[in-house]
Amino acid sequence: MRTSIPVSTTANVPVVQAFFVLGAFILRGIKQFARALKHRRDTTVLARMDERMLADIGLTRADLQDAISVMPWNDPTALLRTRALERRLARHGISLGLTAQTDSAFKAPPTDRPARLSV
């Protein structure tokens, strides 16, 4: 004897949604990784410039070395952008004031490297 058991299609909806969310999460990670690699290639173009050209955009050779030394999946241009902005503002006597007390939209990228110079 056969009995028919009704199968609810709504029971599978959370599973399907979970796969879509997981797929979107993985796709976003792949896009971020690809963007970081593109920016790393752009950083190598900057590394071919001489010191005068780097100074024109507010960077030094040490800034490039610091940016290239970050993890491969991190965007090296964030550090370069920060350094160039700091120098540009310092020329006008403006400090970013990146301390723990300030609530600024501009945040310095995290680093695990010690400071080169201690004051």
What string of pLDDT tens digits covers the 119 residues of the chain?
A: 566 665 555 556 788 888 899 999 999 999 988 888 888 888 888 889 999 998 888 889 999 998 888 887 778 888 888 888 888 888 888 776 654 444 455 566 666 666 565 44
Quick one: which of 80, 41, 75 has its CA closest to 57? 80
Give the number of residues written for the chain.
119
CA pair distance 36, 85, nearest whole angstrom? 20
CA pair distance 103, 86, nearest whole angstrom? 17
CA pair distance 83, 94, nearest whole angstrom? 14
pTM over 0.75: no
